[in-house]
Amino acid sequence: MKSQNYLGAASAMALLCVSSTAIAGEQASDQQAIGYRIGLAFAGVHNTLGGIGIESSGGVSVADTRPTVMFDGTLGYDFAPNWGIQGDLQAAALGKPDVADGDRTNAYGHGAVHLYHRTDSFLVGALGGLGIHDDRGDSNREMNYWFAGAEGKLLTGWGSVFAQAGYLDSYDRYDEGTREAPFARLGINYFLNDNWSVKLDGAYAGGKKWTDNLPNRVFDFNVESEIRPETWPVSLFARYEFTQISYHALDSDQYRYGENFHTVMVGLKFRSGATLREADRAPGSLDLPSFGKWVAFNANEIE
- Would you call 172 helix, strand, or coil by DSSP? coil
pLDDT for res 300: 87
Mean pLDDT of the chain: 86
Q: What is the per-residue pLDDT across 163-187, written as a single tens digit (0 to 9) for each?
A: 999 999 999 888 889 999 999 999 9
Answer yes or no: is pLDDT of 93 > 60. Answer: yes
pLDDT for res 137: 66
Pairing of strands 256-271, 181-193: unpaired
**In the chain, how long is the greatest CA-to-CA distance?**
64
Residue 270 near residue 37 (C-beta atoms within 8 A): yes
Answer yes or no: is pLDDT of 301 > 70. Answer: yes
Question: In sequence order, what are the beta bridge partners of 150?
Answer: 126, 165
Of residues 219 and 136, more confidence is placed in: 219
pLDDT for res 26: 35
Answer yes or no: is pLDDT of 197 > 60. Answer: yes
Answer yes or no: is pLDDT of 100 > 60. Answer: no
- Would you call 232 helix, strand, or coil by DSSP? coil
Question: What average pLDDT does this structure show over 139-161?
Answer: 91
Pick from 227, 178, 232: which is nearest to 207 by CA? 178
pLDDT for res 3: 42
Answer yes or no: is pLDDT of 16 > 60. Answer: no
Q: What is the per-residue pLDDT across 238-276, written as a single tens digit (0 to 9) for each?
A: 999 999 999 987 765 568 889 999 999 999 999 998 899
* C-alpha angle 87-93-94 in degrees, rounded to nearest 5: 145
Of residues 279 and 55, more confidence is placed in: 279
Pick from 20, 53, 69, 6: which is nearest to 263 by CA? 69
CA distance 189 to 158: 8
Question: What average pLDDT does this structure show over 7-22?
Answer: 39
Query: Which pTM value belongs to this model?
Result: 0.86
pLDDT for res 27: 37
pLDDT for res 235: 97
CA distance 181 to 167: 6
